[in-house]
Structure 1
């Protein structure tokens, strides 16, 4: 049970961080092109 709580705590923040990284990478690619 504690694993799901751990994932809820840090998983959402990690997913948001990954989305921000992807967004920044897409912007860099657009600038490069």
Structure 2
């Protein structure tokens, strides 16, 4: 059960980070 929860949390974190990185990249392109 713990592994399932950890996997779910890790998946959510990875999803959120990639989303944030995409927004950051778009902002950098706008700045340049």
TM-score bracket for the superposition, by shorter chain length: 0.7 to 0.9
What is the CA distance between 1:5 and its match in structure 2? 2.6
Moved over 3 A (4+): none
For normalisation by structure 1, the TM-score amounts to 0.78
TM-score (norm 2): 0.80
Unaligned runs of 5+ in 1: none
- The corresponding residue for 1:14 is 13
Structure 2: gaps (5+ residues): none
- 1:27 is aligned to 26
